[in-house]
Structure 1
């Protein structure tokens, strides 16, 4: 008898909204993906590790609250991206039976039970020669706190935990042992992109990333590989306001890596954290609305000369070699005369993503209200570098 694809290759549990309404009891299923079997999962458990190679890195992906019962739409892409970037075991932790409910506290109450099941599995891995250094957990929503609970059971010796939008309700204000925190792994990085809704607002890791300030994410990538096509650079800063006001546009000259990178390679910046007490950093960046999501940041210095002050703003448009135009607005407090002119003594443009590139300048420019002025900047003189 020929098996169909669903029978041959186990897939993530799919439940109906009816299941969410009546509630589901907890059942955890572990599905292993490897470079050899990237699209066809193998169901494993603590008594049958299957083809899992304990000498290689093992990444656990743990989803969160599922109010409709549907599988996470991002799961397949994340699995493929992880296997594509490094040969490893990828274990999808399917606890949809338990996470599927319209009553959020019911799902949250099952997080520690999921963590205990994962510990039982990891114990068997360790017994067969695995190393805690090679265990990486990626947890989304409630899954972020599940990762933290597992890490706490191993006294923070797990290699790494990444928390994606850690759940806020029932975890906000809780002590470290009741949520994800930096002591749960050797390196903990967190991406906050829903802090005005169900996400956790405060810092939870060694480094916490806040795309677009951590609030609304227009078209924002949902996983650590969302901006994989280019390097998403973040800027350590105390607040999103300070970042937007240009107060945090340098990560320090002469360092091996000037600014932290979002995503899979975020741990390359951890050497910069241990000089801090506690070793925690907030980092901010902005994203575009469409793929590849990354934005190249530029810093603009403007020196104007005016006799009287009048409030206004300047709109700056940059046209790239591909013809695409990006636009930004700068508020200022100096427009002069009844015709609202602004005399710019000099304007300097410098790349933040590529600080080694030459700075570009424009000198002695008169701007008129509601009139676009086009110009091509030239390399700055040595005095303006």
Structure 2
């Protein structure tokens, strides 16, 4: 009797283990990369019912996976080049955040066999094969009742171009492609059919973070976001002494910024502009073309602006970030009028205070010109948002160590929040010494000053 009880318990345990078995992303190493890997595609399904336990999908029998509900939207995550063979560290976080935002099927496209290769050219060659495999799977989904318009491809680096190839194979009927710093090497200068472009899906949004090295410089989508101008991300190493992170930090920042947009800790509002320099100068702050919604917000929720963007055509936008999460910054238009007799040149640092919290913005990308009775318009990016400003600190600096110190006699300063409809803040008659901070309590601007 005891033996039968033991066997029953053993069989039960086996069934539980089988039921709880989770399929994981392929883990390779540098040895595999040196030898080289041939293309092999594994599709790992995650849903709200199994958010942390992947299910390996069949390429030929969808009925074997009743949890793969084709009436839901489906999001495919497609990674890029894996020179060391290790799994992407961000896969778990991205999957969980997508499921938290929407009841969807999240499918991780594991093409590590094919992406893991010290020969980058072989990985590029394998992107076409990966796209053909994924195209066949999506066509099978369509045959089982899935709507192509409800499919979202999120491609990182080489994965962005795989997304484009899949979209092109399906005649641009995929609902959305999100490209996170699309790969530049071997794709720059190629025709649209050999890379991602805006015709590959009904809506294509692109983020650029490393256009001077591993990323693609030119616009590719209906809207292209250039974080910090698309180069030299804050907090990333500046010298070779930092090792491998010097080469990949800017490129990988694209994923971190997208994760932040999913997390909804704060939003990064982007401004359409022809160049990053004009953006920093505050020459591109007009958002009237986007209607009541204002300028678009980077990330997952950009589809709120989809109809406007499709009407406008290709839109190139810029935004700045902090060095670490939360990455989003808060934009203000700052207008300064002085009454010095002579022209003054210099830099402005502004701090906003409320209840022990401080937000800082330094307008120092170039020396600003201040002229008597002439309004100087500045674009200030604060490291955090202050909901209610009770005190402002202001500092003027000429940046000239060996020249005479100048004072800036401010007739009026006006600060306008660019993300909220609220009355601007003003202050009048302030004397600023060179490199000396002055504190004051701001007042709502009078109507005549708007």
Normalising by structure 1, we get a TM-score of 0.94
CA contact (8 A) 1:45 1:121 kept: no
Name the SS for the 1:347 alignment partner. Answer: strand
CA distance in 2, matches of 1:338, 1:144: 54
> What is the Cα deviation at residue 358 of structure 1?
1.1
2:400 pairs with 1:384:
no
CA distance in 1, matches of 2:371, 2:224: 40
1:232 is matched with 268
CA contact (8 A) 2:180 2:254 kept: no
The root-mean-square deviation of aligned C-alpha atoms, in Å, is: 2.1
Moved more, 93-102 or 265-274: 265-274
CA contact (8 A) 1:221 1:293 kept: no
CA contact (8 A) 2:80 2:157 kept: yes
2:211 is matched with 195
Correspondence 1:95-244 to 2 at 5 A: 95-219=111-235, 220=253, 222-223=255-256, 224-227=258-261, 228-244=264-280
Alignment gaps of 5+ in structure 2? 1-9, 236-252, 373-402
CA contact (8 A) 1:58 1:91 kept: yes
1:18 is matched with 31
CA contact (8 A) 2:74 2:151 kept: yes
> What is the Cα deviation at residue 123 of structure 1?
1.1
> What is the Cα deviation at residue 6 of structure 1?
12
2:296 is matched with 260
> What is the Cα deviation at residue 42 of structure 1?
0.7
Name the SS for the 2:341 alignment partner. Answer: coil
CA contact (8 A) 1:31 1:92 kept: yes
TM-aligned CA distance change 1:197 to 1:6, over 3 Å: farther
Q: How many pairs were matched up? A: 382
Q: Select which of 64, 84, 97 maps to 1:81.
A: 97
Moved more, 323-332 or 374-383: 323-332
Q: Select which of 430, 434, 437 maps to 1:365.
A: 430
2:350 is matched with 316
CA contact (8 A) 2:77 2:154 kept: yes
Normalising by structure 2, we get a TM-score of 0.81
Q: Greater helix share, 1 or 2?
A: 2
> What is the Cα deviation at residue 317 of structure 1?
2.3
Once the two structures are superposed, residues 26-80 of structure 1 have per-residue CA deviations (whole angstroms, 9 ceiling, x without a partner) of: 1110011111110111101221221211111011100010011110011111100
Q: Select which of 281, 298, 301 maps to 2:315.
A: 281
1:40 is matched with 53
> What is the Cα deviation at residue 217 of structure 1?
2.1
CA distance in 2, matches of 1:110, 1:149: 12
Name the SS for the 1:275 alignment partner. Answer: helix
